[in-house]
Amino acid sequence: GLQAIKDQKKVNAGAQFFQTNLIFEPDRLDDWLEQLDKRDVLNKVYIMIGLVPLKSYKAALYLHNKVPGVYLPANILQRIEKAGEGAPEEGVRIALELIDKIKGKKGISGIHLMTLGWEEIVGRIITESGF
C-alpha cells in the first residue's frame, strides 16, 4: 500500500531502521510487511516493533483514546478491565502473547519495549518471551 511506497522511498534515501508505533494487532503488520517484501525493502532495513506492557485499564484507555495512531482492540481493553487488581499481570500476559505473534514474522528485527515508568518488568518480559 501507500505506506510501503513511502517506506521504500525512505530506504532509497538511506534509512536503515524503522520503528513502528505501538502494535496491539500483530496480524495487521502482515500486509505492510508483504508490501515491503514485494518492493525488496525487508532485506535492506531493520524493523523494530513498538510494544507496551499495559499496567492498568486507565493506561490502556489513555493509549487508546489520547495517543494518535494507537488502537487497542476491544478484546484487549476488556481483558485489562476485567483483570481489575490483576491488570499488571494480565498486561504482561498480553505483551508476551503479542511478542509471540510478532517474533516469527519475516522482516522483524526486534521489539522496542516501551514501559512507561514500569522498567522493572523488562527483564521478565525478555526472559519469558525468549526474544
Which residues face 46 on adjacent strands? Answer: 17
Residues 22, 7, 131: CA angle, nearest 5 degrees: 45
- Residue 1: the pLDDT is 78
pLDDT for position 116: 85
Model confidence pLDDT, tens digit, residues 51-60: 999 999 999 9
Q: Does domain 2-129 have CATH number 3.20.20.220?
A: yes
| 74-127 tens-digit pLDDT | 999 999 999 999 999 999 999 999 999 999 899 999 999 999 889 999 999 999
User: What's this model's pTM, rounded to 2 decimal places?
Assistant: 0.91
39 and 4 Cβ atoms separated by less than 8 Å: yes
Tens of pLDDT, residue by residue over 19-77, are 999 999 999 899 999 999 999 999 999 999 999 999 999 999 999 999 999 999 999 99
* pLDDT score of 87: 98
Residue 18 has pLDDT above 80, yes or no: yes
pLDDT value at residue 104: 87
Integer CA distances (angstroms), 81 to 36, 86, 93, 96, in order: 36, 9, 14, 18
